[in-house]
Amino acid sequence: MKQNRIDLENQVAVVTGGAKGLGFGIAARLAASGAKIALWDMDEGALKKAREQLPGASIFNVDVTDYASITSALERVEKTLGPVSILVNSAGIAGPTHALADYPLAQWRRVIEVNLNGTFLVNRALVPGMQTRNYGRIVNIASIAGKEGNANASAYSASKAGVIGLTKSLGKELAGFDIAVNTITPAVANTPILEQVTEEFVEFMLSKIPRGRFLEINEVASMVAWLVSAENSFTTGAVFDLSGGRATY
């Protein structure tokens, strides 16, 4: 697919969950548009591999559920790359597939902690700098599950619905600044996160997409590249669907 080159020259982008999957695909697209990339991830091995695949990217071992880890990484990024103007929150986990009545309590808490609390904590750390500079572009990655709910995925669905609500709230808070805060709600994409769920569950999710195929990572990256550009100067607190026709509202 031919890609337009969005102008992100001299921008510094933090991409959480950036070592693989959607996060890495987005980071590669932003780098191709001229941004300086800081990949944040917990998987050190994947980070090293990502740096080999994306020369020039800086890697940081970060736990998005640990505020001290986040603020330490932010300090190092701004010292080496400059002020952060772009944030993409892609770190997330699927969690196991269980009916709510059987959902393991520890796994529920873990999914909420990574997907929702992690998104909150990273935003909390990076937003003040953007406010001071009166510029920023933020994309929090949710899921179509956050709008529709997936059976046997109550923790994931609830966490992503929370990300949508957080984004709408933050977009309103920052509307007086040149800071755009938006979220995307992708349908299922063929990324490593699918390894966390059963094949039957993957087939079920695929069956709900009218286009009849998985979302491609470069399709996500294309939308995010525009959302984090200076051209996106008005829209904020919005939800952008990448559902292949699944979304009904």
Reported as a single tens digit per residue, the pLDDT across 12-39 is 999 999 999 999 999 999 999 999 999 9
pLDDT of residue 195: 73
Per-residue confidence at 196, pLDDT binned at 50, 70, 90?
low
Cβ atoms of 182 and 242 closer than 8 Å:
no
Integer Cα distance of 229 and 223 in angstroms: 10
| Residue 135 annotated to the active site | no
- Of all residues in the chain, the percent with pLDDT exceeding 90 is 81
Domain 12-235 CATH (choose: 3.55.40.20, 3.40.50.300, 3.40.50.720, 3.40.640.10): 3.40.50.720
pLDDT of residue 1: 60
**Cβ atoms within 10 Å, residue 182:** 23
- What average pLDDT is seen over the chain? 94
pLDDT of residue 61: 98
pLDDT of residue 130: 98
From the list 67, 103, 156, 249, the catalytic residue is: 156
**Cβ atoms within 10 Å, residue 109:** 12
Per-residue confidence at 188, pLDDT binned at 50, 70, 90?
confident
Cβ atoms of 47 and 39 closer than 8 Å:
yes
Is 90 exceeded by the pLDDT of residue 67? Answer: yes
